[in-house]
Amino acid sequence: QVQLKESGPGLVQPSQTLSLTCTVSGFSLTSYHVHWVRQPPGKGLEWMGVMWSDGDTSYNSALKSRLSISRDTSKSQVFLKMSSLQTEDTATYYCAREDYGWDYWGQGVMVTVSS
């Protein structure tokens, strides 16, 4: 069955770089787009960027200078790297598959930016 699972550190120090992995199963990264979205505590959803099925990427312009998304199709993994983290980057980070809407989501990983 289709599954996505985010993994990464729960705590990151200010100014450091966040690295997250989305490991997928039940579908191919070359057939579906995978998005990253985040949600600060008690707040709404913010789209961060996408790994298109053809390997191209698009980013939220507000984050573009700090954000990089890549993938390893052989391992069915999509990676997110975001630099220069600040306290306002504290959020739950999700990856989600797109199929006329985001039909499958990971459980999310809570990332706290604090010294």
Partner 1 sequence: ETTVTQSPASLSMAVGEKVSISCKTSTDIDDDMNWYQQKSGEAPKLLISEGNTLRPGVPSRFSSSGYGTDFVFTINNVLLGDEGIYYCQQSDNVPLTFGAGTKLELK
**Strands 109-113, 11-12: parallel, antiparallel or unpaired by DSSP?**
parallel
Long-range CB contact pairs, 63-72, < 8 A, 24+: 69/36, 71/29, 71/34
- Closer to partner 1 by Cβ: residue 72 or 99: 99
Of the candidate residues 61, 65, 74, 115, the single one contacting partner 1 (CB under 8 A): 61
Shortest distance, position 102 Cβ to partner 1, whole Å: 6
C-alpha to C-alpha distance for 52 and 61, rounded to whole angstroms? 17
Does 41 sit near partner 1 (CB under 8 A)?
A: no
101 makes contact with partner 1 (CB under 8 A): yes
Lookup result for tokens 């450091």: 16
Q: Which residues bind partner 1 (CB under 8 A)?
A: 35, 44-47, 50, 58, 60-61, 94, 96, 98, 100-103, 105-108
